[in-house]
Amino acid sequence: MIYGNKNSTESRSPLKAAPLRYAGQSLDEEIQRVLEDDVLVYLVMAAFAIAIALHEWWRWFIKSPPQPIVFTIFAIFAVAFTARKVVLARRKLKRLRLARDGERAVGQFLEELREKGYRVLHDIVGDNFNIDHLLIGPKGVFTIETKTMSKPARGKPEIDYDGTQILVNGFKPDRDPVVQAKAQAHWIKELLMSLTGKSVAVRPAVVYPGWYINQPTQGGRPDVWVLNPKALPTFIENSNSELSDEEVRSFHVHLSRFVRNTAEK
């Protein structure tokens, strides 16, 4: 329910700060953009073309000099063009919604770690990128990139990870998730340094909901974890990093303020 001051001609928001972002918010915004830019505009164009054609047929019916064939051809081309754009947009929306739902599912899973003293932030927006999830807790700071992919119709959905490279059912992804995760962790590390003056190790992780991950069989733990989300708590608990309660609180406060200030711009 929304209340306002009826005695004032001017008003302002009662909120002192913008709310924190939720899991998958960037994808929600992209979905809305696709609907507005790649679907609605072309549907209006097609409707306009059909309206013109119907108008010309009406002129023909009332014996006014008509040109229905010309306008019908125009309408056919407009509808065909619109249909193609809508089909492409539907495919893109399907991918975006899958990615959004994956981020939300992982986000809800991470929220359960609050009981163990962890603070959770979602959808931290940087310059032309975003970090899906950030965990701050007794075992350190963790960036988490969610990769939600459709499973194959047949066979076991497997991902092979040798510590440096990811293969999804034998194929290398178009964008290297390991490089992406490292860059995100480095950005958070630099951001925390600028906000708090403290240098803290940031552990990057890439999670694939619903997929089985074949982990490296030799050597220690790699720089980037590649996991099913259910394995993440175990990896975190075995981490060597340690943060005090004051550090956890301080990092969370500063990053929360950064997220809110970014949202207000």
User: Could you report the per-residue pLDDT of 20-68, keeping only the tens digit for each?
Assistant: 677 778 888 888 888 777 777 778 878 888 887 887 788 777 777 767 7
Return the SS3 of 122. Answer: strand
In a domain, 4, yes or no: no
In a domain, 180, yes or no: yes
Mean pLDDT of the chain: 83
Question: How crowded is residue 17: how many other Cβ atoms within 10 Å of its Cβ?
Answer: 13
Write the CA distances from 242 to 26, 135, 136, integer angstroms. Answer: 31, 13, 11
In a domain, 111, yes or no: no
Query: What is d(CA 60, CA 20) in angstroms, rounded to the nearest whole number?
Result: 59
Residue 14 has pLDDT above 70, yes or no: no
Q: What pLDDT is recorded for position 24?
A: 77
Indicate whether 178 and 256 sit together in one domain. yes
Higher pLDDT, 98 or 64: 98
In a domain, 3, yes or no: no
Rounded to an integer, the average pLDDT of 215-219 is 75
Indicate whether 76 and 205 sit together in one domain. no
Query: What is d(CA 4, CA 185) in angstroms, rounded to the nearest whole number?
Result: 43
Rounded to an integer, the average pLDDT of 89-110 is 87
Q: What pLDDT is recorded for position 261?
A: 84
Q: What pLDDT is recorded for position 260?
A: 86
- Which residue range(s) make up the domain with 176? 118-264
The number of domains in the chain is 2
In a domain, 171, yes or no: yes
Q: What pLDDT is recorded for position 10?
A: 52
In a domain, 16, yes or no: no
Indicate whether 68 and 147 sit together in one domain. no
Q: What pLDDT is recorded for position 179?
A: 94
Indicate whether 83 and 53 sit together in one domain. yes
Indicate whether 173 and 210 sit together in one domain. yes
For residue 2, name the pLDDT band (cuts at 50, 70, 90). Answer: very low
Indicate whether 126 and 250 sit together in one domain. yes
Whole-number CA gyration radius for the chain: 25
Indicate whether 253 and 125 sit together in one domain. yes
Query: What is d(CA 92, CA 86) in angstroms, rounded to the nearest whole number?
Result: 10
For residue 246, name the pLDDT band (cuts at 50, 70, 90). Answer: very high
Write the CA distances from 196 to 85, 139, 140, 193, 200, integer angstroms. Answer: 48, 18, 15, 5, 10
Candidates 118, 256, 114; CA nearest to 191 is: 256
Write the CA distances from 104 to 97, 147, 163, 205, integer angstroms. Answer: 10, 12, 27, 16
Indicate whether 139 and 91 sit together in one domain. no
Domain boundary among 50, 68, 97: 97
Query: What is d(CA 199, CA 188) in angstroms, rounded to the nearest whole number?
Result: 10
Question: How big is the chain, counted in residues?
Answer: 265
Q: What pLDDT is recorded for position 11?
A: 45
Indicate whether 125 and 250 sit together in one domain. yes
CA dihedral 88, 91, 92, 97 (to 10 degrees): 150
Strand partners, 121: 134
Indicate whether 49 and 160 sit together in one domain. no
For 175-185, write each residue's pLDDT tens digit. Answer: 899 999 999 99
